[in-house]
């Protein structure tokens, strides 16, 4: 069977439902393009490599912000906290003035927007962009990273099945699996 016939029968709704059961954190990926801050909410931000230090994110081909960040050649990913759902919604809207009323400062390495109130910041230079279906995978080399000082950590903003999931009270960190 050819891939076109398979794609025609593929159930996109089912795909979203099944993969929506994988809980993710949320980050704002941002840059300065033509002197203006640009950014979008991103669920696909992930650690990729320790040596060299690389991260990745995926952006839809239909995004107007993604290409501007790519042309900037650098980005800062701000990991959002549980209390930043409204901020996330603002950066998830297409065509909106996303930075209106948003406090930010230039990241140390690239000058990309580091959004105030985040749980962590990862400042990167774009290393490569890979076409992947209806998205592009952007790989960034980490230039600088940081966490806020003297801030009460309310936990991460989590996205699950199309909405935000509140972290449960109690210990936030448990030992993870070790590499085999």
Confidence of residue 68 (pLDDT cuts 50, 70, 90): very high
d(CA 52, CA 6): 38
Q: What is the pLDDT of residue 61?
A: 96
Task: Using CB atoms within 10 Å of the CB of residue 6, give its burial: 0 to 12 exposed, 13 to 18 middle, 19+ buried.
Answer: exposed
87-101: average pLDDT: 89
Q: What is the pLDDT of residue 11?
A: 83
Q: What is the pLDDT of residue 107?
A: 96
Q: For CA atoms 15, 94, 130, 77, give the dihedral sign.
A: negative
Confidence of residue 162 (pLDDT cuts 50, 70, 90): confident
Q: What is the pLDDT of residue 106?
A: 97
For the chain, the domains span 24-151
Q: What is the pLDDT of residue 6?
A: 57
Pick the CATH number of 24-151 from 3.30.70.20, 2.30.110.10, 2.30.40.10, 1.10.10.10: 2.30.110.10
What pTM did the predictor assign? 0.84
Q: What is the pLDDT of residue 178?
A: 58
pLDDT at residue 1 tops 70 = no
pLDDT digits (tens, 9 = 90+) for 6-52: 555 678 888 777 767 777 889 999 999 999 999 999 999 999 999 99
d(CA 27, CA 76): 10
pLDDT at residue 170 tops 60 = no
pLDDT at residue 104 tops 80 = yes
What are 49's two structure tokens? 């490599």
pLDDT digits (tens, 9 = 90+) for 126-143: 999 999 999 999 999 999
What is the β-pairing status of strands 27-33 and 36-42?
A: antiparallel
């Amino acid at each position: 069977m050819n891939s076109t016939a398979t794609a025609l029968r593929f159930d996109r709704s089912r795909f979203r439902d099944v993969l929506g059961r994988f809980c993710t954190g949320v980050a704002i990926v941002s840059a300065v393009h033509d002197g203006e801050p640009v950014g979008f909410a991103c669920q696909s931000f992930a650690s990729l490599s320790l040596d060299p230090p690389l991260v990745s994110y995926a952006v839809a081909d239909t995004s107007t912000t993604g290409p501007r960040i790519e042309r900037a050649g650098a980005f800062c990913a701000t990991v959002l906290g549980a209390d930043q759902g409204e901020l996330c919604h603002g950066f998830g809207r297409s065509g909106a003035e996303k930075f209106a009323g948003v406090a930010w400062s230039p990241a140390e390495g690239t000058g990309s927007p580091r959004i105030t109130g985040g749980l962590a910041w990862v400042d990167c230079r774009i290393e490569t962009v890979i076409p992947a279906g209806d998205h592009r995978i952007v790989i960034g080399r980490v230039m600088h990273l940081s966490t806020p000082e003297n801030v009460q950590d309310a936990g991460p903003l989590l996205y699950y099945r199309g909405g935000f999931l509140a972290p449960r009270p109690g210990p936030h960190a448990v030992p993870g699996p070790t590499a085999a």
